[in-house]
Amino acid sequence: MSNRPEFTEAITDYIISKIPPYIGLAVLQLNEEGRLINWMGPTHKYLDEKPKKEIEIELLAPFLTGMIPPMINPMVLPHVQIKTEQYAEIHIVEDELMHLWVFFVDQTRNAEKLQQLLQEVNNVRLKHYNATSRSAASPFAAFHLLDFASFVYSDKTYRPIGNQPVWIKELSQAKLFSEDPVPMTEIFPFIEVFQYEAASCWEGKSDAKIESGIWEEDSIAGRKIYLKAMAIRHNHNNYLLIKTVNREGKQDNQLIQKAREQKLTLDQLARTERELKKLLDFKDQFVSIVSHDLRSPIGAVIGIANLLLQDKALLQKLNEKQKELLVDINDEMQRLLDYNDKLYHWSNLELGNFQLHFKSIKPANIGKYVERMQHIKLNQKHIRLVQQFETQSNFELKADETLLSQAINNLVGNAVKFTPEGGTITIGSQINGSDYEIYVSDTGIGMPAEVSNKLFEGFNRRSTLGTYGEKGTGLGLGIVKKILEAHRFNIRVESEIGQGSNFIISIAMKK
């Protein structure tokens, strides 16, 4: 700090008469050019930098820019917020020597008290304004006389309009209505559901309304209060009106409300179903594409394995173990190809990527096809395939020969898997009442009821090993079911452990 400033007589008089006695007083003395000559007091409270002689006042105190020299003498500016938590009354006085004096009087405490007081006053004023003055222009300002509690809905908040009807005070959550905005969905969880419907009204372009069903709330006295809401759109503004209703109207409106809720649930379910279907379709498309593309490389490996197995010169050079491995490669790749084919068929069936080509077919032809497909495995296990297709009836079987043959071939393939060596598999047809039946029976190991009951439900990951340790894909019966469903044929299985299984395809005979 420099030498103590020398106050002129006029300045001394001013200080005595105008400056409130306060410890926080800081003084700056400036020359006629606005440069600092002298200073005293706690300047650090009001200035960010230490005062220096000759510094321009606007550099030291930017908030004084434009005030030096003052337009009126003296110039007094009360409650200047110099820093975030520092207020000052600033006096700027020019003395008879044309020096300028700047006095800072700390007003922080005074300003804080004033701020608190005015904040409370303004909060109440604004709340009152929102509830009455502003809402006086609203078409629903006087609806409390009709027992409506009215609110304007904007920016996802509810603000009250007009006065409150008497029944509000009876509610157990009455106090929450004094908040602004009103926490509506906290007070009435029902409204959170109703908002979903109300959105269709509030987001419209023209005037509209939609009513809710009746719901019940608890009163302070312990009795039930029945309420009903109305969402209104009027003149591009959105409103919510709530009213009490008597109990007589409760039943019908409860039904309406239940129906509405059920519709909402159904709509949501329908949407979810559509989304799930999209996902499922995507999955099937992906599987279809991948399985299709895998055919070539798998086929190539099988081809190479076969070539090697036919190369006698090579085989002579291999030991038994190595020959076995070569056979295993061929078998496993063959199995992989078979699996891949099933996957491809399955995905395309799921996607509906097939068209049924119906024509009259002879079941016996299917028998021959299946025998051709299965003869190697049948021979390996010395299983006898018997064909018993009926020829007495005039029934004309109409089906997609390729797909139906594939389905029956799958059934026979399963039968081969689960029939021990020396067993018998019978494929045939018969008339059973009004149905034409094609069946595949075996003398295999059979299955318990808990397995047969769930045989056609989706994928079967618990694929059982065959009597020769044959591995399954879990897809075969699923493909069978898909194909038969497409034909509108039914399938059932009769089986007992140790007694074999009988798969029966039923075809309704149309008259």
Partner 1 sequence: MGKTSLVQRFVRSIFSEKYHTTIGVKIDQKELTVNDVEVTLLLWDIHGEDDFMKIKPTYLIGSSGYFLVADGTRSDTYETAIKLHEMTSSVTKNAAFILLVNKADLKDSWEITDAQLDTLKEQGWQIMFTSAKTGENVENAFAQLTKKMLQNQQYV
* Closer residue to partner 1 (CB): 130 or 502: 130
Instruction: Identify the DSSP state of 489.
Output: -
CA angle in degrees (0–180, nearest 5) for 434-437-438? 165
Answer yes or no: are the C-beta atoms of 202 and 153 closer than 8 Å. yes
Q: Which of 12, 81, 178, 432 binds partner 1 (CB under 8 A)?
A: 81
Minimum separation from the CB atom of position 118 to partner 1 (A): 5
SS3 content of the chain, % helix, strand, coil (to 5): 45, 25, 30
Q: Which of 16, 23, 72, 313 binds partner 1 (CB under 8 A)?
A: 72
279: β partners: none
Q: Which of 66, 222, 433, 469 binds partner 1 (CB under 8 A)?
A: 66
Minimum separation from the CB atom of position 3 to partner 1 (A): 31
* Closer residue to partner 1 (CB): 122 or 499: 122
Minimum separation from the CB atom of position 475 to partner 1 (A): 58
Structure-token match 């006389």, residue found = 145
Q: How many residues does the chain have?
A: 511
Work out whether 249 is an interface residue with partner 1 (CB under 8 A): no
Work out whether 75 is an interface residue with partner 1 (CB under 8 A): yes
Cα first-last separation, the chain:
119
* Closer residue to partner 1 (CB): 56 or 435: 56
Answer yes or no: are the C-beta atoms of 323 and 256 closer than 8 Å. no
CA angle in degrees (0–180, nearest 5) for 70-74-80? 75
Reported in sequence order, the residue ranges of 10-169 that DSSP labels E, i.e. its strands, are 26-30, 36-40, 75-83, 86-94, 100-106, 148-154, 157-161
Could you tell me where the DSSP H helices lie in 311-319? 312-317
Work out whether 80 is an interface residue with partner 1 (CB under 8 A): yes
Q: Kindly indicate which of the ranges 76-84, 223-231, 290-298, 404-412 contains the residues binding partner 1, using the contact rule CB under 8 A.
A: 76-84
Q: By CB under 8 A, what part of segment 99-158 binds partner 1?
A: 107, 111, 114-115, 118-119, 121-123, 126, 129, 133-134, 137, 152, 154
Q: Kindly indicate which of the ranges 26-34, 81-89, 169-177, 274-282 contains the residues binding partner 1, using the contact rule CB under 8 A.
A: 81-89
Half-sphere exposure of 360 (CA within 13 A, CB side): 3
What token pair was written down for 250?
């409760």
Minimum separation from the CB atom of position 344 to partner 1 (A): 56
Q: Which of 3, 17, 21, 62 binds partner 1 (CB under 8 A)?
A: 62
Minimum separation from the CB atom of position 114 to partner 1 (A): 5
**Which amino acid is present at 61?**
A
* Closer residue to partner 1 (CB): 38 or 107: 107
Q: By CB under 8 A, what part of segment 208-237 binds partner 1?
A: 236-237
Structure-token match 């800081």, residue found = 26
Reference 91, options 42, 34, 20, 23; nearest CA is 20
Work out whether 264 is an interface residue with partner 1 (CB under 8 A): no
Instruction: Identify the DSSP state of 131.
Output: I
3-class secondary-structure state, position 467: coil
The site for partner 1, by CB under 8 A, has a size of: 34
Instruction: Identify the DSSP state of 321.
Output: H
* Closer residue to partner 1 (CB): 73 or 453: 73
Q: Kindly indicate which of the ranges 74-82, 216-224, 257-265, 287-295 contains the residues binding partner 1, using the contact rule CB under 8 A.
A: 74-82
State how beta strands 424-432 and 148-154 pair. unpaired
Work out whether 77 is an interface residue with partner 1 (CB under 8 A): yes
* Closer residue to partner 1 (CB): 79 or 260: 79
* Closer residue to partner 1 (CB): 26 or 82: 82
Minimum separation from the CB atom of position 61 to partner 1 (A): 10
* Closer residue to partner 1 (CB): 81 or 380: 81
Reference 271, options 213, 196, 343; nearest CA is 196
**Which amino acid is present at 355?**
Q
Minimum separation from the CB atom of position 19 to partner 1 (A): 16
Answer yes or no: are the C-beta atoms of 191 and 199 closer than 8 Å. no
The Cα–Cα gap between 130 and 157 comes to 13
Minimum separation from the CB atom of position 131 to partner 1 (A): 13
Reference 256, options 197, 324, 181; nearest CA is 197
Answer yes or no: are the C-beta atoms of 270 and 263 closer than 8 Å. no
Q: Kindly indicate which of the ranges 34-42, 73-81, 239-247, 268-276 contains the residues binding partner 1, using the contact rule CB under 8 A.
A: 73-81
Phi, psi torsion values for 179, nearest 5 degrees: -80, 155
Burial track 391-413 (b if 16+ CB lie within 10 A, e otherwise): eeeeeebebbbebbbbbbbbbbb
* Closer residue to partner 1 (CB): 152 or 408: 152
Q: Which of 79, 243, 377, 398 binds partner 1 (CB under 8 A)?
A: 79
Minimum separation from the CB atom of position 122 to partner 1 (A): 5
Residue window 292-331: x/- pattern of binding to partner 1, with contact defined by CB under 8 A: ----------------------------------------
Minimum separation from the CB atom of position 159 to partner 1 (A): 9
Residues that bind partner 1 (CB under 8 A): 62-63, 65-67, 71-72, 75-82, 87, 107, 111, 114-115, 118-119, 121-123, 126, 129, 133-134, 137, 152, 154, 236-237
